[in-house]
Amino acid sequence: MGALKCFLGIDPGANGSLGIILEDGKRYTFRFAKHTEKETCDFLMRCGMEWDCFAVKEKVWAMPAKDADGNERKMGAATMFTFGENNGFIRACLIAAAIPFEEKVPQTWQKFFGMKKDKGEEPAAYKRRLKQKAEELFPDMKLTLDDCDGILISEYCRRTRV
C-alpha cells in the first residue's frame, strides 16, 4: 500500500498557518508564528517523507494595510521585505521537501467556499466570517483567526485534488 495522501493548505503570512488534512480524515494545523524556521522546515520535510503530499499555497504580494484608525496605508519597506522573505522561505521548504504545490490567489479558494468579501466589509469582519466557515466545516477543531485560512486552503486542496 502506498503512502497516505496528505493535502496541505498554506497561508504564508506572518500570522499564517499550515492546514493538514489526511485522506484518513485526520486534520491538523501548524501555526508559523509558534515555531522557528528550523521547526517549520523540519515539519514540512517529515510531511514529505511520511505522506504523499500536495500543497496549495496562497499566492501573496505586498498590499495596503490598515492603521489603528482603520485608514489604509502602504506596507513599509521592512514589512514588505519580511513578508516576501516568509513567502520565499515557505516555497523553499516545499521544494526541499519535494512537495509539489500550486499557488492560488485568495479569491480562488474563498470563492470555492462561497465566501466573498462584501463591499465595504472591514478586513477583521471578513476574517471572522472565514473563521466561522472553517468552524462549520470542522466543528471538532479548535480554530483561531490565525489558522482558519490554512485549514480552509487545505480543504480546498483536498476537494480539488481528489
Task: Report which of residues 45 and 15 the model is more confident about.
Answer: 45
**What pLDDT, on the 0 to 100 scale, is given for residue 73?**
53
> Which residues are CB-neighbours of 82 under 8 A, at least 6 positions away?
14
Indicate left, alpha or beta for 98 from its phi (over 0: left) and psi (-120 to 50: alpha): left
Average pLDDT over the chain reads: 88
Helices (H), the chain: 37-50, 77-96, 106-112, 123-137, 148-161
**What would the pLDDT profile of 30-62 be if each residue is shown by its tens digit?**
999 999 999 999 999 999 999 999 999 999 765
Boundaries of every domain in the chain: 5-161
Side-chain half-sphere of 106: how many Cα atoms within 13 Å? Answer: 16
Which homologous superfamily does the CATH classification assign to the domain defined by 5-161? Ribonuclease H-like superfamily/Ribonuclease H (3.30.420.10)
> Which residues are CB-neighbours of 118 under 8 A, at least 6 positions away?
126
**What pLDDT, on the 0 to 100 scale, is given for residue 14?**
75
**What would the pLDDT profile of 4-14 be if each residue is shown by its tens digit?**
999 999 999 87
Confidence of residue 72 (pLDDT cuts 50, 70, 90): low
**What would the pLDDT profile of 133-162 be if each residue is shown by its tens digit?**
999 999 999 999 999 999 999 999 999 997
- pTM assigned to the model: 0.86
Q: Which of 66-70, 95-99, 103-107, 141-145 has the lowest mean pLDDT?
A: 66-70
Span between the terminal Cα atoms of the chain, in Å: 18
